Structure 1
Amino acid sequence: MRYFEDVEVGSTAGFGDYAVTRDEVIDFARRYDPQPFHLSDEAAAATHFGRLSASGWHTCAMTMAMIVEQLERHGEAGLGSPGIDELRWLKPVYPGDRLRCESEVLEKRRSASRPAMGIYRSRMTVYNQDDVAVMGFISNSMIATRTAG
Structure 2
Amino acid sequence: MQYFEDIAVGSKASFGRYQVTREEVMRFAAKYDPQPFHLSDEAAAQTHFGRLSASGWNTCAMVMSMVVANLRDNQQAGLGSPGLDELKWVKPVYPGDTLRCETEILEKRVSAKRPDMGIFKSRMNVFNQDDVLVMTFISNGLVSTRPNDTPDTRPD
Aligned to 1:134: 134
Structure 2 SS opposite 1:17:
strand
1:24 deviates by 0.3
TM-score by length of 2: 0.94
Aligned residue runs from structure 1 range 1-149, under 5 A: 1-147=1-147
Work out the number of aligned pairs and report it.
Answer: 148
**Cα RMSD over matched residues?**
0.7
Indicate the percent of aligned positions where both proteins have the same amino acid.
70
Shift of 1:147: 3.6
CA distance in 2, matches of 1:142, 1:82: 8
**What's the TM-score, normalizing by structure 1?**
0.98
Name the aligned partner's letter for residue 20 of structure 1: V
Greater C-alpha Rg: 2
Gaps of 5+ in 1: none
- Deviation larger for 139-148 or 53-62: 139-148
1:67-110 Cα shifts (integer Å, max 9, x gaps): 00000011000000000000000000000000000000000000
**CA–CA distance in structure 1, aligned partners of residues 97 and 112 of structure 2:** 43
CA distance in 1, matches of 2:112, 2:93: 40
